[in-house]
């Protein structure tokens, strides 16, 4: 099992007060299943069960490896590069 080497990228761990949805899906009118938030820049994207997998795509395109769950009551986070769970969320 590998360890995440991207913890120095973490900038934003708290969810915004209101999340309207996946930013990219809202623009294109697509649907999503679950939401993830990039903890480097705060961008909200959709999970890998969603058709467009925007959170995963954002991680690859922008080099922001770690995203946390943006679902209510879920506080886990995940590194898309190392493919491991990461404990970056204070709560």
State how far the Cα of 79 lies from the Cα of 66, in Å rounded to an integer.
Answer: 4
* 41 touches Zn ion by CB under 5 A: yes
Q: Is 9 in the site for Zn ion (CB under 5 A)?
A: no
d(CA 42, CA 29): 21
Based on CB atoms, which residue is closest to Zn ion, 15 or 46? 46
Q: Is 69 in the site for Zn ion (CB under 5 A)?
A: no
82 binds Zn ion (CB under 5 A): yes
> Using the rule CB under 5 A, which residue among 35, 46, 47, 88 binds Zn ion?
46
**Short-list 49, 45, 2, CA closest to 23:** 45
Q: Does 39 bind Zn ion (CB under 5 A)?
A: no
Alpha helix positions (H), 1-91: 23-28, 54-62
Given the rule CB under 5 A, which of 10-18, 59-67, 68-76 is the region that contacts Zn ion? 59-67
Contact by Cβ (8 Å): 29, 18: no
64 binds Zn ion (CB under 5 A): yes
């Amino acid at each position: 099992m590998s360890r995440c080497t991207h913890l120095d990228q973490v900038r934003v761990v708290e969810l915004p007060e209101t999340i309207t949805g996946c930013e990219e899906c809202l623009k294109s009118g697509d649907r999503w299943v679950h939401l993830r938030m990039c903890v480097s820049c705060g961008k909200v994207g959709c999970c890998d069960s969603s058709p467009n997998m925007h959170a995963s795509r954002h991680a690859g395109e922008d080099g922001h490896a770690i995203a946390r769950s943006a679902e209510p009551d879920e506080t886990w986070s995940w590194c898309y590069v190392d493919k491991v769970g990461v404990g970056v969320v204070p709560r």
